[in-house]
Amino acid sequence: MTFVKRDLTPRIGTGIRTDLETLLGGRHAAEIRELLELRGVLVFPQIGLTDEQQVVFAGTIGDVIEQGEKGIYKVSLDPRESPTAGYLRGTILWHFDGFSDDVPTRASVLSARRLSGVGGQTEFANTYAAYEDLSAQRKQELEKLEVAHTLEATQRDVFPDPSPEMRAAWAGHPEKAHPLVWTHRSGRKSLLLGSSASRVVGMDLESGRALIEELLAWATRPEFVYRHEWAVGDLVIWDNTGVMHRVDPYPADSGRMMHRTTLVGEEAVA
C-alpha cells in the first residue's frame, strides 16, 4: 500500500518506492501517467518484476505493443540474444525511439536482468525542460523549423566503415521529417532531436548540422539529465515523447540484458 515519491534531480526523474500489489493493481496508474509527463523518467528501484508482471504493469499505464515475446523485447548487443543487436549499437547515442513513426511510442518500460561489468548505465534528457529554458527569441527562431530524420544518421557514427549491404539497408529506409519543436496537445512543447536528426529542411547541410549539434549539446546539459546507475531488478519508465536517452558504451559480449515493454503512441508529432 506504500507509494512514496522522491525527485531524483530538480528537472527530471522521480523515484517511486512501492510494493508489487500496488503497482500491478493499477491503483496509481493515473498518477503515474501524470508524473511520467511531468518528470520524464520514473524509477522503481529493485522492484524485481517477472516478464509477465512487467507486461501487466505496463498495461495499466497504456496499450502494450506486440513486440518480442509476449510484449517483452530483449535489449542486448549480443547477436546470439537479439536479432536486432546490430541496430541496438546505436543506443549509445542520444535518441528517442521510433523516429520514423508519425505517432512515436508513448513510453518504454525497461528492466535490468543482467548488468555489464563496464558501462551500460543509461542517461535521460528532458527535452521539455530544454525547450522551456531557451530564450524567447530562440524559441521563435526554432518554431517553424523541420528536421529530417534518417536511419543512416543513427548508424553512421557507430559503424564508421559500413559494408555496401549496410549502406544499402540504411539508404532503403525512408527519411522522415518532423517539426523541431513538438507542440503537444497539452500545449507544452519539447524539442525533437537525437541521433536520427540528419539535416534541417531547407537549410544548407552544414548550417543545419551545426544547429542540430548545438541544440543537442544544449538539451543534454547536466541540469536536464538524469543518469540511472542500474541494479538488477530496477524498472525504469521514460516518456518517449519528451525525453531522449542513451546508454554508456558496453561490450557486446558483456552479458548485459534488459527487458523492454513499449507502449503504443497516443499523439502524433505536431
Least separation in angstroms between CB 121 and Mn ion: 14
| Part of the chain binding Mn ion (CB under 5 A), chosen from 59-67, 97-105, 115-123, 220-228 | 97-105
Strand ranges inside the chain, DSSP E: 3-7, 14-18, 41-44, 73-75, 107-114, 122-126, 146-149, 176-179, 181-183, 189-191, 197-200, 225-228, 235-239, 243-247, 257-263
Q: Which does 247 bind (CB under 5 to 8 A by kind): ligand OGA, Mn ion, none?
A: ligand OGA
Output 211 or 238, the one with its CB closest to Mn ion: 238
Torsion of CA 148, 151, 154, 160, to 10 degrees: -120
Q: Which residue has the cell 498518477?
A: 31
Q: Which does 262 bind (CB under 5 to 8 A by kind): Mn ion, ligand OGA, none?
A: none
Question: Applying CB under 5 A, does 152 fall inside the site for Mn ion?
Answer: no
Q: Which does 252 bind (CB under 5 to 8 A by kind): ligand OGA, Mn ion, none?
A: none
From 72, 97, 112, 192, residue interacting with Mn ion (rule: CB under 5 A): 97
Least separation in angstroms between CB 108 and ligand OGA: 6
| Phi, psi for residue 50 in degrees, rounded to 5 | -75, 170
- Name the β-bridge partners of 69: 72
Q: Which does 122 bind (CB under 5 to 8 A by kind): ligand OGA, Mn ion, none?
A: ligand OGA
Residue 22: Cβ within 10 Å count:
14
Chain residues in the site for ligand OGA (CB under 6 A): 75, 91, 97, 108, 110, 122, 245, 247, 258, 260
The dihedral of CA 50, 29, 108, 266: what is its sign? positive
Torsion of CA 253, 254, 255, 257, to 10 degrees: -110
Least separation in angstroms between CB 228 and ligand OGA: 8
Output 26 or 233, the one with its CB closest to ligand OGA: 233
Size of residue set near Mn ion by CB under 5 A: 1
The residue among 133, 264, 247, 135 whose CA lies nearest residue 195 is: 247
| Part of the chain binding Mn ion (CB under 5 A), chosen from 52-60, 96-104, 126-134, 233-241 | 96-104
Q: Which does 64 bind (CB under 5 to 8 A by kind): Mn ion, ligand OGA, none?
A: none
Apex CA 219: angle with CA 213 and CA 221, to 5°?
Answer: 105
Output 97 or 234, the one with its CB closest to Mn ion: 97
Least separation in angstroms between CB 230 and ligand OGA: 8
Output 28 or 259, the one with its CB closest to ligand OGA: 259
Question: Tell me, what amino acid is at 118?
Answer: V
Three-state secondary-structure class, residue 12: coil
Integer Cα distance of 156 and 162 in angstroms:
8
Least separation in angstroms between CB 260 and ligand OGA: 5
Residues in touch with Mn ion (CB under 5 A): 97
